[in-house]
Amino acid sequence: MLAGVAAGVFIVLAGCGGGGGAKGPATLNWYVFKDKSGSFDYAAKQCSKQSGGKYTIKIQLLPADADGQREQLVRRLAAKDSSIDLIGMDVIWTAEFAEAKWIKPWSGADRARVEQGTLAKPLQTASYKGTLWGAPLNSNAQVLYYRKDLVPNPPKTWAEMLAQGQKLGAKGKIEVQAAQYEGLTVWFNSLLGSAGGQILASPEKAALGPPAVAALDVMKKLAISPAADPSMSNAKEDQANIAFEGGKAAFQVNYPAFYSTIKKEAPKVFAVTGIAPWPSVTPGQPSHTTIGGINLGVGAFTKHPTEAFAAAQCLRNRPNQKYAQVNGSFAPSIADLFQDPDVKKAQPFSLLLKVALEQASLRPVTPAYTDISLAVQKTLSPPSGIDPPSTAKDLKSKIDKALKSGGLL
């Protein structure tokens, strides 16, 4: 039945293949989420002009949420859709897409050009089994937003932030991403990494252990604290920021892109907004927030591979990454951009962000990542129901079953 559906999808999609050929520039379809800042559109237009007539990049919008993006791409790639020339891939898709042979590997001069000057951690997110499968377009790591008028000295640890929030009373809410979705996995993974742990001990076995208990203890304590937002268990990135820019919270852990959003939508709150490193779990130890971002993949079934590799390198070049950071607060993957005067003016915390990216933790690089993440989300939602020791054991068991395709999910 599934094979028949896939074949039918392929027939429908085949007519959407890229244009071009001997009579004109190749049309390269770039499947990516909508960027509110216009940075993706800008880069696509610039690279199309600079190609010298070799290609034109046409953006094909994916759904807003990562799960919807992945679902649409998986359906198309499983049907061997040749219209997918370029893909804006979430960093967690690398192993799955590579293992399924849905994207082409980067090698030779193409790989060398991507690696030159690029931060190590973004490159790790684009790599699988020693092969580079994507070109980091941008990177991402959360920071701490806090109200300078309420908190003169930002907290260095989660325990300190919780104490400050409780002391502030109704004004001291702490905004996190705790809905049952990928953001909950990211929060747990960041706490786990900051506690000195990781989700997997090997590709076939979960790790967790004492660091997981420490991470879960933070989640539980916030969930039952007066500093927790009443809607915490339903909060995603946008909801957390809306509460913060609405003056309903003293803290939020969130992504750099919201810096420009707050500036535009809530200037009074922006005037008293400070940025600090993501809080640590262990006093005196740095935090290791989860790295995110978008890698550019070349579709395995594209009719224009040469043009697609060239276009991907153009889309993530220095001028385009600079434009994206200045105008959309996207964290670049090119190391020296964090020192650029224009970037530092638009994003005064750029050097702080660079350190966060250098110290970031990765989510498990495995084709089974989706099942692992679902196990985390289902086990830890809602955070108020967590019992750190027993929940850690339960989560380890479920992740081990997910790795063995135990039919859990």
> What residue ranges do the domains of the chain occupy?
2-139+293-358, 143-290+368-403
To which CATH superfamily is domain 143-290+368-403 assigned? Periplasmic binding protein-like II (3.40.190.10)
- Equal fold, 2-139+293-358 vs 143-290+368-403: yes
Residue 343 confidence (pLDDT): 93
Residue 329 confidence (pLDDT): 85
Of residues 11 and 359, the one with the higher pLDDT is: 359
Residue 65 confidence (pLDDT): 82
Of residues 273 and 260, the one with the higher pLDDT is: 273
Q: Sorting pLDDT into bands at 50, 70 and 90, what band is 13?
A: very low
Q: Sorting pLDDT into bands at 50, 70 and 90, what band is 43?
A: very high
CATH number of 2-139+293-358, picked from 3.30.70.270, 3.30.56.10, 2.60.120.10, 3.40.190.10: 3.40.190.10
For residue 391, the Cα-to-chain-centroid distance in whole angstroms is 25
Q: Is the pLDDT of residue 15 over 50?
A: no
Residue 36 confidence (pLDDT): 83
pLDDT tens per residue across span 309-333 = 999 999 999 999 999 999 888 999 9
pLDDT tens per residue across span 64-98 = 888 889 999 999 999 999 999 999 999 999 999 99
Residue 5 confidence (pLDDT): 37
pLDDT above 70 covers a percentage of the chain that reads 93
Residue 386 confidence (pLDDT): 98
Q: Sorting pLDDT into bands at 50, 70 and 90, what band is 202?
A: confident
Q: Is the pLDDT of residue 7 over 50?
A: no
Burial label for 141, CB within 10 Å (0-12, 13-18, 19+), is buried
pLDDT above 90 covers a percentage of the chain that reads 87
pLDDT tens per residue across span 270-285 = 999 999 999 999 999 9
Give the mean pLDDT of the chain: 92
Q: Sorting pLDDT into bands at 50, 70 and 90, what band is 12?
A: very low
Burial label for 39, CB within 10 Å (0-12, 13-18, 19+), is buried
pLDDT tens per residue across span 95-129 = 999 999 999 999 999 999 999 999 999 999 999 99
pLDDT tens per residue across span 366-408 = 999 999 999 999 999 999 999 999 999 999 999 999 998 643 3
